[in-house]
């Protein structure tokens, strides 16, 4: 339900919240702070009809409005809900494609209609990008120990755990994707993909989303994993896994495991029974302690029990 906000509505809200008004500062009672600030703005400067709106969601239905979409994206980026826990179907259809200039959306049709006048008068806006989604940092203040070195690299609706570092270059984190612990991100985390604590997504590495070859299965990368530079991760990984640089591990990738390594892998994954010497990537999904590598002479991709501890540089997080 979407309602216009007016002075009378805000007065009613402030009256209802009177017992908590004195506590509304800092991180406490942000809702009261918003209502109070908005009341003062409208009281002093007025507001156009429909300029401010409030959105109420009573069920987790597919998205049909800009307001409902933004509400859910805020909840996701503020970590009020867990990644992949709410229904974001319909988000692309609900949001219009707009030009963004200094954090403000501009309708493309308006730009076309006023292009000549704006350019000849020297008032044509600097367009930062064109997209349905704004950028994460246009709306979210990250934790003190979170670093995002390029605003274009994180989309609104992503969720970053405190201590996450997002480097420039080939990195990117889509909406409904992100990190659940301290992580280094130098590659791509596609929509619905999740990276665990202590993991490193190497330069140019890519974690596939549900529309990118995972057969609809969302990918989670466990704790203390390493995705080497320009590698592709197309299956869920357990803890302590490594994908060497430049290789792609997909659901259908044929992966050889020698008998002595198979026994070690099973010991690291109690309750898992594995037979054979060649497995599809999908059969190894979610297992702990795997090290995927490629034989430089034969081209064979193999998996062995990982012997390397993945440890992030604490000074960088």
Distance CA 105, CA 98 (A): 6
**CA-to-CA distance for 233 and 242, rounded, in angstroms?**
10
Q: What share of the chain is helix, strand, coil (3-state, %, to 5)?
A: 25, 20, 55
Catalytic hit among 11, 186, 300, 315: 186
Strand runs (DSSP E) across 73-231, as ranges?
98-101, 104-107, 129-131, 147-148, 165-166, 172-173, 178-179, 184-185, 188-189, 194-195, 200-201, 206-207, 220-221, 226-227
Contact between residue 39 and residue 16 where contact means Cβ atoms under 8 Å apart:
no
Separation in Å, CA 151 to CA 15, 75, 79, 89, 184: 39, 20, 19, 25, 16
186 is catalytic: yes
Helix (H) or strand (E) holding 184: strand 184-185
The catalytic residue positions are 186
């Amino acid at each position: 339900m979407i309602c216009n906000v007016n002075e009378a509505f805000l007065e009613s809200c402030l009256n209802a919240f009177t017992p908590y008004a004195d506590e509304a500062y800092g991180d406490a009672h942000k809702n009261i702070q918003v209502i109070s600030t908005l009341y003062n703005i409208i009281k002093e400067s007025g507001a156009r009809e429909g300029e401010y709106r409030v959105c109420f969601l009573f069920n987790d239905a597919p998205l049909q409005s800009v307001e409902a979409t933004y509400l859910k994206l805020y909840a996701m980026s503020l970590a009020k809900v867990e990644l992949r826990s709410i229904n974001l179907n319909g988000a692309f259809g609900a949001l219009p494609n707009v030009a963004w200039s200094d954090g403000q959306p501009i309708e493309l049709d308006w730009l076309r209609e006023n292009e000549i006048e704006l350019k000849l008068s020297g008032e044509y806006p600097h367009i930062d990008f064109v997209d349905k989604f704004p950028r994460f940092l246009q709306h979210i203040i990250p934790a003190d120990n979170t670093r995002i070195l390029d605003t274009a690299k994180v989309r609104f609706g992503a969720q970053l755990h405190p201590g996450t570092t997002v480097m420039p270059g080939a990195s990117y984190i889509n909406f409904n994707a992100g990190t659940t612990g301290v992580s280094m991100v130098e590659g791509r985390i596609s929509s619905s993909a999740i990276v665990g604590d202590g993991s490193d997504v190497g330069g140019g590495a890519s974690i596939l989303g549900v529309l990118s070859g995972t057969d609809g299965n969302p990918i989670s990368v466990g704790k203390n994993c390493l995705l080497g530079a320009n590698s592709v991760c197309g299956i869920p990984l357990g803890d302590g896994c490594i994908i060497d640089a430049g290789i792609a591990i997909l659901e259908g990738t044929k992966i050889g495991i020698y008998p002595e390594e198979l026994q070690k892998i099973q010991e690291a994954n109690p309750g898992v029974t594995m037979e054979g010497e060649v497995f599809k990537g999908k059969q190894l999904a979610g297992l702990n302690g795997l090290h995927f590598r490629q034989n430089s002479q034969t081209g064979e991709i193999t998996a062995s029990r990982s012997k390397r501890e993945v440890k992030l540089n604490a000074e960088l997080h």
